[in-house]
């Protein structure tokens, strides 16, 4: 074999010697390529723009950190597999973790950039855009394109859910479903506020608003929420469940869509969303009427999501304030504020901890308003906390006088929701918008300018302060009446330096202020939020007989029985939790009996535990000696 290989190599040498290089090379290198006669390829402008965009996307894609790419792939896989546990971890923990690490002050990658990572899955891209725009609204300043595109993405999501032939194959955690509804309403409220400020708009923004059509219109938002309610048949579901019907009967009533947890919870959260939208629009009666099929107690489905739980009680309590039902508002705020106090240690683990605390502070302010207008001993603990937070304002409100209205106004503006108008300025009418901008561009005073920007809020504030102003003489009059059991009207008028007829009118105002419609305590859970009976909310009652005033004061003492029962139950719960905890491990291994007896002769003289016998863990069974 080696000889054959050698012969082959020798033959190759002979071939090299016989080859004429000039013939092999020919004219290589002696001629020059002439490209003049070659026509240049024609690339149109659109192709060039597409190539540039593609190159820019590739460059932007390369800038995405690898951990973020892995997270998006994992997130998409969890959504495909309908793994609620993994989706919840990725949504509540992973998204916020990478936001703080990489995108605290910038936008997340656009959906078109991460599309190759998720195989261009259109449903996941819609969900990703929902998170993307939520991040823009919460951390950054959205521009007009963000406002329009977020509306378009919300429409795509709800069209996918509502216009499908059957229930969609999608599973999302309840927290995310609530956040979708909550963010949808929040972006609507922010857009309405931004749209109402016509004086600050640029020409491009005016053009887009004129051509925008029903973008973030009140009708479209209400239509989505009512459609989700009807699609899921959530009202029929709750009525049937309250009536004690079987699961088969309920399934027949609600149909295919109502049986899916996705549609059922979206329908339920839409009811809470409608409560919020109607409050923003100023229709407080309709807001409470929407909740007629919802039980306002600790067993309702909205309590599974803390943010939804707190928001529901906040808006219900505010509705009661605007309807002059202060006892119901106090009872509502006390219920949820006690819940927040009990669960505060768990709220620190929630990504919505700050938002819950802000809402709680606003409810303490509203509680102080109600407590000043209708004093109550429903919960002294909550009242003391409210006085600590807003002690100065509370003192002014209860004392009355010229400073009281300013204190009421301060707390109301701090704690009230953001009101909006159902219809914005007429941007489609160029002449009308030009006149509007001309009149709003030169306000007569700074106060007038600020009032134009918060016109809705000031209208509701004026209505609230009108009722408060009517009760301004009440604290002073109450102080005089408490000193007597019977007194002539002329004598009271002399004390107050007022006319006797005006005094009688003020006393009738006091009488009216001490009466309010309230839900009956025993049947509160079984009745609607708008139902109730006329009750007396004051501890001071009086009767005017001709020119004499007869006063009867009923002092409400501290409710010791309820206080002791509540704290006994709390102590019992703490004791049960301690009993269920495992004992701490020993610091060193215990010696055996024989070793103790031999190595420690003094152990015989050590004192024993009272009662004798070994120490046992709490809750375990003692062995009889």
Would you list the domain boundaries of the chain?
A: 305-436+451-469, 473-575
E strand or H helix at 487: strand 486-488
| Cα–Cα dist 364/369, whole Å | 9
Question: Across the chain, what does the average pLDDT equal?
Answer: 79
| Cα–Cα dist 440/102, whole Å | 42
Helix axes 144-162, 203-211, angle to 10 degrees: 20
Per-residue pLDDT at 48:
66
Bridge partner list, 533:
518
pLDDT tens per residue, range 464-507: 998 888 777 677 777 777 777 888 888 888 877 778 888 788 78
pLDDT tens per residue, range 524-556: 455 678 888 887 777 677 788 878 888 776 555
In the β-sheet with 486-488, what is the strand arrangement from edge to edge?
Answer: 486-488, 548-553, 540-545
Token match 């409400």: residue? Answer: 556
pLDDT band of 15, cuts 50, 70, 90: very low
Structure tokens at 595: 């070793």
Number of Cα atoms under 13 Å in the Cβ half of residue 492: 29
| Cα–Cα dist 308/272, whole Å | 8
Per-residue pLDDT at 32:
52
> Is 622's pLDDT higher than 60?
no
CB 272 within 8 A of CB 312: yes
Q: Look at 215-224, 304-313, 495-504 and tell me which has the smallest mean pLDDT.
A: 495-504
CB atoms within 10 A of CB 228: 25
> Is 380's pLDDT higher than 50?
yes
| Cα–Cα dist 90/131, whole Å | 12
Token match 């209400």: residue? Answer: 222
For 588-596, what is the mean pLDDT?
A: 50
pTM for the complete prediction?
0.77
Structure tokens at 240: 């049937």
Per-residue pLDDT at 442:
46
Count of helix runs (H) and strand runs (E) in the chain: 31, 5
Per-residue pLDDT at 363:
95
Sequence-separated (6 or more) residues with CB below 8 Å from residue 141? none
């Amino acid at each position: 074999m080696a000889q054959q290989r050698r012969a082959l190599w020798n033959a190759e040498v002979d071939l090299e010697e016989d080859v004429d290089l000039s013939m092999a090379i020919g004219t290589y290198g002696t001629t020059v390529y002439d490209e003049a006669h070659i026509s240049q390829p024609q690339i149109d402008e659109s192709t060039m723009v597409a190539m540039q965009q593609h190159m820019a996307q590739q460059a932007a894609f390369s800038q995405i950190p690898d951990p973020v790419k892995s997270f998006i792939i994992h997130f998409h896989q969890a959504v495909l597999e309908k793994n609620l546990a993994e989706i919840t971890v990725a949504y509540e923990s992973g998204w916020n973790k990478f936001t703080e690490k990489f995108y605290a002050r910038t936008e997340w990658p656009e959906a078109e950039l991460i599309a190759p990572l998720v195989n261009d899955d259109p449903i996941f891209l819609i969900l990703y855009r929902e998170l993307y725009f939520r991040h823009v609204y919460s951390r950054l300043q959205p521009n007009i394109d963000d406002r329009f595109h977020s509306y378009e993405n919300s429409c795509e999501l709800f069209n996918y859910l509502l216009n499908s032939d059957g229930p969609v194959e999608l599973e999302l955690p309840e927290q995310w479903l609530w956040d979708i509804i909550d963010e949808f309403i929040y972006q609507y409220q922010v857009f309405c506020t931004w749209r109402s400020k016509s004086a600050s708009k640029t020409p491009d923004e005016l053009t887009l608003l004129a051509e925008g059509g029903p973008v973030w219109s009140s009708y479209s938002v209400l239509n989505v929420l009512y459609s989700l309610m009807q699609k899921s048949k959530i009202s029929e579901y709750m009525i049937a469940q309250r009536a004690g019907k079987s699961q088969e009967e309920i399934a027949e009533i609600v149909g295919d869509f109502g049986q899916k947890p996705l549609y059922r919870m979206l329908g339920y959260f839409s009811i809470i969303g409608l409560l919020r939208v109607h409050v923003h629009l100023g229709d407080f009666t309709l807001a409470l009427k929407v909740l007629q099929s919802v039980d306002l107690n600790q067993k309702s489905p909205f309590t599974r999501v803390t943010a939804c739980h707190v928001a529901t009680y906040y808006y219900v309590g505010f509705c009661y304030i605007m309807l002059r039902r202060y006892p119901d508002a106090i009872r509502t705020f006390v219920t949820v504020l006690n819940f927040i106090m009990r669960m505060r240690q768990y709220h620190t683990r929630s990504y919505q901890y700050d938002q819950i605390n802000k809402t709680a502070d606003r409810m303490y302010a509203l509680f102080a308003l109600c407590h000043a207008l209708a004093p109550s001993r429903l919960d002294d603990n909550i009242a003391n906390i409210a006085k600590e937070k807003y002690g100065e304002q509370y003192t002014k409100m209860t004392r009355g006088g010229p400073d009281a209205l300013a204190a009421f106004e301060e707390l109301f503006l701090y704690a009230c929701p953001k009101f909006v108008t159902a219809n914005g300025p007429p941007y489609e009418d160029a002449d009308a918008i030009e006149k509007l901008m001309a009149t709003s561009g030169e306000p007569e005073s700074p106060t007038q300018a600020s009032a134009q920007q918060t016109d809705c809020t000031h209208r509701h504030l004026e209505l609230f302060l009108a009722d408060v102003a009517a009760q301004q003489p009440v604290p002073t009059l109450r102080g005089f009446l408490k000193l007597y059991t019977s007194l002539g009207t002329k004598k009271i008028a002399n004390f107050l330096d007022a006319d006797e007829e005006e005094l009688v009118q003020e006393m009738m105002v006091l009488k009216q202020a001490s009466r309010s419609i309230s839900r009956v305590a025993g049947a509160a859970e079984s009745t609607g939020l708008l139902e109730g009976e006329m009750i007396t909310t004051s501890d001071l009652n009086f009767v005017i007989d001709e020119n004499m005033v007869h006063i009867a004061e009923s002092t409400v003492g501290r409710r010791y029985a309820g206080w002791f029962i509540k704290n006994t139950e709390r102590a019992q719960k703490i004791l049960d939790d301690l009993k269920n905890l495992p004992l701490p491990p020993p610091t060193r291994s215990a010696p055996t009996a024989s070793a103790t007896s031999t190595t420690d002769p003094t152990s015989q003289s050590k004192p024993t535990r009272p009662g004798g016998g070994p120490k046992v863990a709490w809750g375990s069974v003692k062995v009889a000696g």
